[in-house]
Amino acid sequence: MTDEVSRSEVITRRFALDEEISLIQGRHKLELAPLVEELALCERFVADSMNKANEQSVKIDGVGMTFFRTVSKCQVRDWEATLAEIQSKGLWHLLTHAVSKEAVKEYIEVNKEAPAGVEFTTFKDLSWRRGKE
């Protein structure tokens, strides 16, 4: 058996495994759906009852505890307006220390080096795409 035949068989098996895993994951998702739905109903019932009783936490001896916590979420909806305010008021602490990978890649293509202080690495990764049947 040549390397090419062996490689062909292994690649074929890899795609078969990928398909089998997807089918099993689909079955598990269907099997779990009613449990996930019931879990959400339990959580909603407890949250509603705690809100009505104005409770922040509830402890059930031998079972466990549930409590409210504050979760914050932040999303820029208008980058131009946000950046303008940051610049005009000097609010630089609102920004994170990151650069655009694609912009750095374009910069390197033009300048043959990364911008000062930026490390840019590339590597080969094995990807898979099923052929047309």
DSSP for 14-80, written as a single string: HHHHHHHHHHHHHHHHHHHHHHHHHHHHHHHHHHHHHHHTT-SEEEETTTEEEE---------S-HH
Average pLDDT, the chain: 93
How many residues belong to the chain?
Answer: 133
Going from the C-alpha of 86 to that of each of 2, 25, 51, 83, the distances in angstroms are 63, 46, 38, 5
Instruction: Give the model's pLDDT for residue 71.
Output: 92
Asked whether the whole model's pTM tops 0.75, one would answer no
Phi, psi torsion values for 57, nearest 5 degrees? -155, 155
Rounded CA gap, 36 and 121, in Å? 41
- 65, 58 Cβ separation under 8 angstroms: yes
Average pLDDT over residues 31-48: 97
| Residue ranges per structural domain of the chain | 1-63, 73-119
What's the pLDDT band for 2 if we cut at 50, 70, 90?
low
